[in-house]
Chain A
Amino acid sequence: MTPTPASPVRGPERRRPRAGAYSGEERRSLADRRTENNRLYVHFRIGATDFLLGIQQVQEVLIVQEMTPVPQAPALVAGLINLRGQIVPAVDLRVALGEPATGQDTTANVVVRADGGAFSIIADEVFDVLEASPTMLAPPPANLVPPLRDLTTEVCKLPGRLLLVMDVDGVLRHLEAAFGARGGL
């Protein structure tokens, strides 16, 4: 897979594509399937789960040194980050996926464009931009466990593994539910 000029990863905080993110077989499978209708996805990992996010939905990817915690907010909101004057909340989905919250000061963030304001998704690792043809995508299996099911629109079938295409609206719904459950306080 060749680096794409449309990569949203930019600036000094650019993350190098990690060698070995895709196996040789995966690369061939991607190359074989290239068509006009290929779409670009940002590939990242949260805990043990690999996610893809449509590149149109990604504003940028950056490393954040520290963020400001938001008291009273659900644990899902890890804090606020300053994106050149734009203040965006950072969402820690590890909590939703049943993994321990990050607790680290330095995190990789995938900033997502969304209705009602951009927000950021904290990732353990951001790999690269992946080009996938529509034939590689399938609806999520019906037996996918609930938190993942809500956060997924499609599944990308790599030969050796499955990558989940993240549903930004699903993440927002999840957030809203968390705020709702927090109650009127």
Chain B
Amino acid sequence: MSDELQLFLDEAAEHLDACDRAALALDDGADAGDVSSLLNTLFRGVHTLKGNAGMMGMAATVEVAHVLEHLLDRLRAEGRSPSRDVVDVVFAGLDALRTLVHLAPLGDEGTLDTRDLMRLLRTTAGLAGAADDEAGARYPGWERVESPDREAPEAGIARGELALYALHLQLPEVDWRAPLDHPDLEKLLALGRAVAWCRAEDGGLRVGYVTAATPDLVRAFGPEGLQACEPRPDGRLPAPGGELPAASPDGAPQAPPEAEAPGAPPAEGGETSIRVGITLLDKLMNLVGELVLTRNQVLQVTHRAADATLFTAPVQRLNLITTELQEAVMRTRMQPIGQVWEKFPRLVRDYCRQTGKEIRLEQEGAETELDKSLLESIKDPLTHLVRNAIDHGLEPPRDRAASGKPATGVIRLRARQDGGSIMIEIADDGRGLDHAKIRAKAQAAGLATSDALARMTEAELAQLVFHPGFSTADAVTDISGRGVGMDVVRNDVERVGGSVELTSSPGRGTTAHLKIPLTLAVIPALVIMMGRERFAIPQGGVLEVVRTGDGLQRVENFRGARVYRLREALVPVIDLREALGLGEAGDAVEGHLVILQAGSQVFGLAVDEIGDTEEIVVKPLHRLLQALPAFSGVTIMGDGRPCMILDVSGLAACGNLDAAAAASEADGGGTHASEGHRLLIVAIGPRQFAIPMALVTRLEDFAARALEQVGSRTVVQYGEHLLTLIDPTGLLGMPPLEATETAPVVVFGLDRRVVGVRVSAIRDIVEEAATLHPARGIAGVAGAIVVEGKTTEVLDVQAVIDAALPGWFAAGAHAGQPDVEVHA
């Protein structure tokens, strides 16, 4: 795309945005003084766009702009606030212009059928009032082209210093609607100026031309196509014979006196700015990054130098200037978030007009700035959230009245900077999320078991809406439409290192909270060491860092799968050395685990050492290296050496966690029966038992000395609670468990209550599509299955718990919670 075209598109977008703003303000019922200035703004925008489009040879755009301009001029003459219907027509015209401008670079300008729109615009202009078009009356039927800030030629003509000529030209390649910048006319225009122009009856061009030169001179300077040069001593131009295009039945209105020269963007608030290509800014950013690194190296050298005093002052100044320069260059890429928000009033207005809802849009912190490229990438998610709020969040006026709320719903957009992040809120005062329906929907979609859902807090339930499983058409009616594409919103936001959350209170409204990093180019990262090599992990994926080793929680090897007990969760552990193929996983006693989150997968990354958190400049990898799954980019450290940036999701894939997560998700999405096929194999005394994994909350291994006797019960301190431990041997008719150093325990949970069953050893988790052979009359045994060729008894968990703690299940049932469904 040529620079010229790009400039045109940028400016056209600016003009149209300014017009949209003005039209919206008109729609809000501005008072008389404002109406005229708003209409002038609209007129100027459309007029300038018409001129620019003419220069680009975009005939259809010029045509629509011309008629819209005419309508606006009529409205201006009327001098009162236009009706909503008329503003609708203005919007339709602006929308058509926007579409045409977008089509133009593709050469598809002609594909948009504007006939209906043109008819509508003309009819509306006719209805808008029949005030005399004084401006157009000066040269009736002619179109003024000259910049209106120039002195009117009449005085000069009256004094005899200037002469007016009506020229007739045959220049087929000149579009009569476009400004006269044709090279053939250059000489002529150097001699005088064109004040008006129109199409001639024979398809040529008629130009009203003012000059101090004589007719002979005009003829001599005119192009070959100059056919007639008729002096007009009366200062009037003859009405152009023949038919003018229907687009302009009564001629075009005159540009308002305060109009700017075509090509100048609407300068609001007297700001001075220039356009700079984003690639140049990127380059500047790059160079400044390099300067910062070099500055760091100079600082290091100075510290080491024997006689540093000479350098100290200039180096300190270099330090300061570099920091300021870096900030300034970063700021060049920053844009106010209002740029995205300004589309929303229009969205809200159109929706209200269609549905009869009444909505007030409030904005706070529109001036909050963030990186241009980030702004682009959060545009869609924000629009989606606003649309959700107006469409589904806010109730119809009748429902609002019924619940005692004002008829006008409020959507509040709020943005503020918080450290290195931008917090954005989109709040509505609508009906809020329906938690019961979310539960039902989540269960139907198999996202979680009923007891898991019952345990969830409202905040956790709200997060379910972001699950891809919710993105079904069904959800539109089931849960107030939220969730349609919410997973897309989350993906978009997370891709730029942000996060999104929903909070809601029933009947009072829903708020979406977005947290977006200030800039993409510089991200905070945790530096870790593996042997001699350093790696950076983007801070966004890091949940926490834990130490492992003697006297601390260890990484356990569970049948080749390394796991770590993180408080109440069991997380898989990937050894970075192994994942990157640098060597065998170390079984070092001491080490560090970085707990990472990739999507819904939480895992630990075993590393040698933890370094500092640093702000790093992300650079892309060479094309070939982008195929490496474990890395997302590269950065340059303070010492000038490149450092690879680890890709958290890629690491999960390297550790085969992706497949596992997918498998468990598939399980979750299936029926309970399939989940029942994952079996925990434990030993109790000499016998082997299977327990359906679906029932198991956690696996624990307590130190024997941690067990306490309280009355007849064995308990253990478990987080903030006491966990009752059941010894199933009594029920199973076996001798009590032998005292060992550690006590392996299978923990079962129901409605926030947990209970543990002691076993001799936890052996394995197997996937078995086994057939259960039911057993009757054996206490504590539900049946038997064949696991890996070995007959295994299935523990009747309910019976075991019931025998030791009668009423434990009932307590849950009394609280209105569903029972644990025992399969097996």
Q: Which of A16-24, A68-76, A153-161 contacts B (4 or more CB under 8 A)?
A: A68-76
Closest Cβ of chain A to B576, distance in Å, is 9
Closest Cβ of chain B to A129, distance in Å, is 26
Closest Cβ of chain B to A72, distance in Å, is 5
Q: Which residues of B contact A82 (CB under 8 A)?
A: 636, 640-642
Q: Is B533 located at the chain interface by the 8 A CB criterion? A: yes
Q: Is A81 located at the chain interface by the 8 A CB criterion? A: yes
- Bound complex: CA A118 to CA B698 (Å): 52
Closest Cβ of chain B to A71, distance in Å, is 4
User: When the two chains form their complex, are residues A179 and B580 in contact, meaning their CB atoms are under 8 A apart?
Assistant: no
Interface size on B, residues (CB 8 A): 28
Q: Is B789 located at the chain interface by the 8 A CB criterion? A: no
- Bound complex: CA A73 to CA B245 (Å): 67
Closest Cβ of chain B to A68, distance in Å, is 4
Most buried by A among B582, B621, B641: B641
Q: Is B484 located at the chain interface by the 8 A CB criterion? A: no
Q: Is A176 located at the chain interface by the 8 A CB criterion? A: yes
Q: Which residue of A lies closest to B641 (CB)?
A: A68
Q: Mark A156-185, 1 if CB is under 8 A from B, else 0.
A: 000000000000000010011001000001
User: When the two chains form their complex, are residues A70 and B643 in contact, meaning their CB atoms are under 8 A apart?
Assistant: no
Q: Is B589 located at the chain interface by the 8 A CB criterion? A: no
Instruction: State which residues 595-633 of B face A: CB under 8 Å.
Output: 619, 621-625, 627-631
Q: Mark B48-75, 1 if CB is under 8 A from A, else 0.
A: 0000000000000000000000000000
Most buried by B among A66, A70, A116: A70
User: When the two chains form their complex, are residues B634 and A87 in contact, meaning their CB atoms are under 8 A apart?
Assistant: yes
Which of the residues B293, B623, B636 comes within 8 Å of A87, measured between beta carbons? B636
- Bound complex: CA A70 to CA B581 (Å): 10
Q: Which residue of B lies closest to A84 (CB)?
A: B290
- Bound complex: CA A149 to CA B155 (Å): 84
Q: Which residue of B lies closest to A180 (CB)?
A: B627
Q: Is A8 located at the chain interface by the 8 A CB criterion? A: no
Most buried by B among A68, A81, A176: A68
- Bound complex: CA A10 to CA B496 (Å): 40
User: When the two chains form their complex, are residues A88 and B581 in contact, meaning their CB atoms are under 8 A apart?
Assistant: no
Q: Is B654 located at the chain interface by the 8 A CB criterion? A: yes
- Bound complex: CA A89 to CA B620 (Å): 12
With A71-B581, A72-B629 as given contacts, are A87 and B654 in contact (CB-CB < 8 Å)? Answer: no
Which of the residues A68, A72, A175 comes within 8 Å of B642, measured between beta carbons? A68
Closest Cβ of chain B to A95, distance in Å, is 15
- Bound complex: CA A69 to CA B625 (Å): 12
- Bound complex: CA A116 to CA B290 (Å): 22
Closest Cβ of chain B to A97, distance in Å, is 19
Q: Is A63 located at the chain interface by the 8 A CB criterion? A: no
Most buried by A among B582, B624, B628, B634: B624
Q: Is A119 located at the chain interface by the 8 A CB criterion? A: yes
User: When the two chains form their complex, are residues B289 and A89 in contact, meaning their CB atoms are under 8 A apart?
Assistant: no
User: When the two chains form their complex, are residues A85 and B287 in contact, meaning their CB atoms are under 8 A apart?
Assistant: yes
- Bound complex: CA A172 to CA B623 (Å): 11
Interface size on A, residues (CB 8 A): 25
Closest Cβ of chain A to B230, distance in Å, is 62
User: When the two chains form their complex, are residues B580 and A80 in contact, meaning their CB atoms are under 8 A apart?
Assistant: no
- Bound complex: CA A151 to CA B631 (Å): 29
Q: Is B286 located at the chain interface by the 8 A CB criterion? A: yes
User: When the two chains form their complex, are residues B622 and A85 in contact, meaning their CB atoms are under 8 A apart?
Assistant: no
Q: Which residue of B lies closest to A176 (CB)?
A: B624
Q: Is A3 located at the chain interface by the 8 A CB criterion? A: no
Closest Cβ of chain B to A77, distance in Å, is 7
Instruction: State which residues 267-317 of B face A: CB under 8 Å.
Output: 286-287, 289-290, 293
Q: Which residues of A contact B654 (CB under 8 A)?
A: 185
User: When the two chains form their complex, are residues B622 and A119 in contact, meaning their CB atoms are under 8 A apart?
Assistant: yes
Q: Which residues of A contact B622 (CB under 8 A)?
A: 87-89, 116-117, 119
Q: Which residue of B lies closest to A83 (CB)?
A: B642
Closest Cβ of chain B to A164, distance in Å, is 23
Closest Cβ of chain B to A11, distance in Å, is 14
Which of the residues B287, B293, B533 comes within 8 Å of A68, measured between beta carbons? B533
Closest Cβ of chain A to B582, distance in Å, is 6
Q: Is B644 located at the chain interface by the 8 A CB criterion? A: yes
Most buried by A among B289, B582, B644: B644
Q: Which residues of B contact A69 (CB under 8 A)?
A: 533
- Bound complex: CA A70 to CA B580 (Å): 9
- Bound complex: CA A77 to CA B623 (Å): 13
Q: Mark B334-359, 1 if CB is under 8 A from A, else 0.
A: 00000000000000000000000000
With A85-B636, A89-B625 as given contacts, are A72 and B580 in contact (CB-CB < 8 Å)? Answer: yes
User: When the two chains form their complex, are residues A68 and B643 in contact, meaning their CB atoms are under 8 A apart?
Assistant: yes
Which of the residues B293, B580, B636 comes within 8 Å of A71, measured between beta carbons? B580
- Bound complex: CA A116 to CA B627 (Å): 13
Most buried by B among A117, A179, A185: A185
Q: Which residue of A lies closest to B633 (CB)?
A: A87
User: When the two chains form their complex, are residues A66 and B641 in contact, meaning their CB atoms are under 8 A apart?
Assistant: yes
- Bound complex: CA A39 to CA B630 (Å): 43
Instruction: State which residues 417-463 of B face A: CB under 8 Å.
Output: none
Which of the residues A71, A72, A81, A175 comes within 8 Å of B624, measured between beta carbons? A175
- Bound complex: CA A117 to CA B622 (Å): 6
Closest Cβ of chain A to B804, distance in Å, is 50
Closest Cβ of chain A to B284, distance in Å, is 12
User: When the two chains form their complex, are residues A73 and B644 in contact, meaning their CB atoms are under 8 A apart?
Assistant: no
Which of the residues B286, B625, B627 comes within 8 Å of A85, measured between beta carbons? B286
Closest Cβ of chain A to B426, distance in Å, is 39
- Bound complex: CA A88 to CA B620 (Å): 10
Most buried by B among A66, A73, A88, A175: A73
- Bound complex: CA A75 to CA B582 (Å): 12
Most buried by B among A71, A80, A172: A71
User: When the two chains form their complex, are residues A87 and B624 in contact, meaning their CB atoms are under 8 A apart?
Assistant: no
- Bound complex: CA A89 to CA B644 (Å): 12
Q: Which residues of A contact B629 (CB under 8 A)?
A: 72, 185
With A68-B643, A81-B642 as given contacts, are A179 and B636 in contact (CB-CB < 8 Å)? Answer: no
- Bound complex: CA A179 to CA B293 (Å): 32
User: When the two chains form their complex, are residues A85 and B641 in contact, meaning their CB atoms are under 8 A apart?
Assistant: no
With A85-B286, A185-B629 as given contacts, are A72 and B581 in contact (CB-CB < 8 Å)? Answer: yes
User: When the two chains form their complex, are residues A72 and B623 in contact, meaning their CB atoms are under 8 A apart?
Assistant: no
Most buried by A among B286, B619, B622: B622
Q: Which residue of A lies closest to B288 (CB)?
A: A85
Closest Cβ of chain B to A37, distance in Å, is 34
With A70-B625, A119-B622 as given contacts, are A87 and B580 in contact (CB-CB < 8 Å)? Answer: no
Which of the residues A70, A117, A119, A175 comes within 8 Å of B628, measured between beta carbons? A70
Beyond A80-B644, A85-B289, list 8 extra A-B contacts (CB 8 Å): A68-B641, A68-B642, A77-B624, A85-B293, A87-B622, A89-B622, A89-B625, A185-B654
Instruction: Give the top 5 A-B pairs by smallest Cβ distance, nearest first.
Output: A71-B580, A85-B290, A116-B623, A80-B642, A68-B642
Task: Pull 5 A–B residue pairs with CB atoms less than 8 Å apart, ordered by A.
Answer: A71-B630, A72-B630, A80-B634, A80-B642, A87-B642
